[in-house]
Amino acid sequence: MGMISGIVLTFVAMTVLAIGANTSSYGMTFFDESGECLSIKSFEVMQVVDDNHALAHEVEWNQVLRRYVPTDLLVLLTNDNGEYYYDDQIIEVPQGMCMRQIGIYKYQTIKEDIYKTVPIVKLMSK
């Protein structure tokens, strides 16, 4: 009887985990539909999270300083086209495209040991 209840309990737990995996993965929650355009500017990769995701600051080109300057917007960039991100990479947003919000990402900072929530964005047409 104990073995049967163990098998049933394992099956129920796996089902619950599988359902949860559809909505949240590694602190990521994806929307059913794409949201609004958040930016048409460029982004600089701050930290690569995994092959298809990177934390990045929105940046603007400063003519006086002759370099990119970060704005206050921090996002999690995502792509599904097999390209890899690397630290300090500049991601240019082409004309007619924008970074559209597709979800949110919650993570814990190492230095400050606090939780942050940032939008997950993907390059899409306007």
The pTM for the full model equals: 0.75
Least confident stretch, 7-11, 46-50, 52-56, 97-101: 7-11
Q: For 16-37, b where at least 16 C-beta lie within 10 A, e where not — what string?
A: eeeeeeeeeeeebebeeeeeeb
The DSSP-derived string for 106-124 is EEE-SSS--EEEEEEEEEE
CB atoms within 10 A of CB 66: 7
Q: What is the pLDDT of residues 69-120, one digit of tens each?
A: 999 999 999 988 888 999 999 999 999 999 999 999 999 888 888 999 999 9
Number of H helices, E strands in the chain: 1, 9
